[in-house]
Structure 1
Amino acid sequence: MIKRICYRGIILIFLVISLIGCNNSGKSQYFFNGTVLENNETHLLVKPEEGTDELKSSDKITVSLKETSLLNTRDEKVKIRDIKEGQKVQISYDGMIAESYPAQIKKCDKIKILD
């Protein structure tokens, strides 16, 4: 009887750990603020703000707009043409920055216009 309880306990612990390890909400965990230098309607060229970790990677970052939600200051969806050079934006991404010049973010979930 005790062996059965121990086996069930071990299996239960294993299942809980497996489910926790598989939990991936698909949301970005990384973000930074920057200034739009260029908008070519498929990518943005952004200069990260002073003091950000992203600025340590590069002073310019190309952000892919494929599958990216674009929002204004009121969290309403906007078109890519609504993002103008000189605007401050918040970039939410997967944490991966390709080391090139300019650096590249290929998986960006959300870009929010801040001003």
Structure 2
Amino acid sequence: MGRPVSLTGPHGTGKSETVKGLAKAMGIMCLQISCTEDTSLTGLDKLLVGVIQSGVWALFDQFRTMDTSILSLLSTKLIDFRNKLLQQVPRSQIVVEGVNLPVLRMQSISVQTNPL
């Protein structure tokens, strides 16, 4: 497993529930993070550090609602995480807030959006 996903679809079609259900079936905690236009990068960085350190899955709900500058910076970090995860290099690490964090093979950070 350990494959981040980006889910897009109409409201109420089960995007978030699918990710949370898969995590539950695998015995992994999934943290659902509700994004808004007020979401700050500092808060997201702290969440990312906690998520990556603990090995839980993260699901960013309503990803597109964030300010575009925050969305861009977070997307860059998530792409870096995804690339490290897909490389399947033992003891791969990602840097968030100046902290070197190990990338766990079973980890997943996913995003969910509704169409515009």
With normalisation by structure 2, the TM-score equals: 0.21
| Structure (1/2) with the larger helix percentage | 2
Q: What is the TM-score normalised by the length of structure 1?
A: 0.21
Higher Cα radius of gyration? 1
